[in-house]
Structure 1
Amino acid sequence: MSNKESKRSSICGAEIIACAECDVISIPGNSNISVSGVWEKLDFSSVEFSEKPTSDSSSYDVSIDFSFSDTSHDNYIHLMTWCNIYVLIKLVYSDGSVKVVGSPDFPVSLQINNDGSPAKFHLTYSGQQPEPSKYL
């Protein structure tokens, strides 16, 4: 049986869905969430995700950065479709656990940028959430 809190687990997959295209059941204080709809796989090169309680423990500072090595114009246009709209992000961990970042009341809004050598696209989010990401 896998430990959902394992510190050795890493993100091995991610999917995304627009809030407008899904139905969600999320009860405040419950560590689980239910999302129905069609998720789209993100083919990222790497991802960095952090989630830490704020200094007063009233919310969580959340940061996510997906890196994409495909810097083609077509990929840029595709990634742009996920920017500046409200989305939920599903993170799949190597220990089998699955978490969802965001909720209908506190969705994620991604931004895109391009940097590095070699160049990479980045889809990023940084903000505060009232609860930690929930298990799907």
Structure 2
Amino acid sequence: MQNRESKRAAICGVYLIALSESTVTNVPGVSQIKVSGIWDKMKFSSADFSEQLSSDGTNYEVNLTISFSDSSQESEKEIMAWIGIYILVRLDYTDGNSRVVGTDQFPVVLSLSGDGSPHALRLTYKGQQPESSKFL
């Protein structure tokens, strides 16, 4: 039997918060971040997150995709509210950890795409951050 730490953790929760509606305590070089405010829980169908140190070692290449199978008008309106604004993204994992993508100095800005039949929506972020995602 494997212990909890040896299993690969999966994303089980996605939460967003507007930078303008939060208070962030972040110290560069420290792996923890504190965010005060009300996180908005997303009803997502899948989420993929990766980060990799760039070849020159100066920043992290970050890729985040959040997919939604509910393309109802109400759901689409809720998703659209997050486009083009400075936000932080909290990812909760099955191992109990929570990581925050973005900081007060380097927030995330999501873009929207959609395709397929039935229509599926995706929020994506591809960018560079000076540090890896931080533990909440």
Taking structure 1 as the reference length, the TM-score comes to 0.94
The runs of 5 or more residues in structure 2 that have no matched partner are none
Stretches (4+) displaced over 3 A: none
Query: Within 2, Cα distance between the matches of 1:93 and 1:130?
Result: 23
- 1:19-38 per-residue CA deviation (whole Å, 9 max, x = no partner) reads 00000000000000000000
Query: Bigger CA drift: 108-117 or 63-72?
Result: 108-117
Please name the residue that 2:38 is paired with: 38
Please name the residue that 1:19 is paired with: 19
Query: Within 1, Cα distance between the matches of 2:27 and 2:101?
Result: 14
Query: Within 1, Cα distance between the matches of 2:23 and 2:4?
Result: 28
Give how far 1:118 is off: 2.9
Matched, 1:104 2:130: no
Please name the residue that 1:81 is paired with: 81
The runs of 5 or more residues in structure 1 that have no matched partner are none
Matched, 1:47 2:47: yes
Letter in 1 for 2:124: T
Query: Within 2, Cα distance between the matches of 1:37 and 1:25?
Result: 12
Letter in 2 for 1:51: E
Give how far 1:2 is off: 5.2
Question: In structure 2, the residue corresponding to 1:29 is in which secondary structure?
Answer: coil
Taking only aligned residues, the RMSD between alpha carbons, in angstroms, comes to 1.3
Give how far 1:117 is off: 3.3
Aligned pair count reads 134
Please name the residue that 1:123 is paired with: 123
Question: In structure 2, the residue corresponding to 1:75 is in which secondary structure?
Answer: helix
Give how far 1:119 is off: 1.9
Question: In structure 1, the residue corresponding to 2:34 is in which secondary structure?
Answer: strand
Please name the residue that 2:9 is paired with: 9
Kept in 2: contact 1:2–1:96 (CA 8 A): no
Letter in 2 for 1:76: E
Question: In structure 2, the residue corresponding to 1:31 is in which secondary structure?
Answer: coil
Query: Within 2, Cα distance between the matches of 1:115 and 1:47?
Result: 16
- 1:89-111 per-residue CA deviation (whole Å, 9 max, x = no partner) reads 00000000010000010000011
Query: Within 2, Cα distance between the matches of 1:36 and 1:2?
Result: 29
